[in-house]
């Protein structure tokens, strides 16, 4: 199953928007979403502070890859599903 990690923060409306838009794809694709608050981990804060939300996708047997940040890139997400 495809696994997504959404790096976000609790007070981020862009993060909420990306999570909601991603869930719309669950009608046609099976996946899990792990939402991680970057403010809870100093290393993640250093990596993603100014980029949140950041969507990372991983297919079984493949390395994780960044799909998009700030806004859900529909074309990038579709390409990820099709690859």
CATH of the domain at 65: 3.40.30.10
Domain that holds residue 62: 2-82
The whole-number average pLDDT for the span 41-45 is 96
| Distance between CA atoms of residues 4 and 67, nearest Å | 10
Domain count, the chain: 1
Mean pLDDT for the chain overall:
96
60-75 per-position pLDDT tens digit: 999 999 999 999 999 9
The whole-number average pLDDT for the span 22-32 is 94
pTM greater than 0.75: yes
pLDDT, residue 38, reads 97
- pLDDT > 90: what percent of the chain? 98
With b for 16 or more beta-carbon neighbours within 10 A and e for fewer, the 10-47 pattern comes to: eebeebeebbeebeebeeeeebeeeebbbeeeeebeee
Q: Which two tokens stand for residue 28?
A: 């046609």
């Amino acid at each position: 199953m495809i696994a997504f990690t959404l790096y976000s923060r609790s007070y981020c409306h862009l993060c909420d928007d990306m999570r909601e838009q991603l869930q719309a794809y669950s009608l046609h694709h099976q996946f899990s979403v792990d939402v991680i608050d970057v403010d809870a981990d100093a290393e993640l804060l250093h990596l993603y502070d100014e980029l949140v939300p950041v969507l990372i996708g991983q297919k079984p047997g493949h390395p994780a890859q960044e799909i998009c940040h700030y806004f859900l890139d529909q074309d990038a997400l579709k390409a990820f599903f099709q690859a």
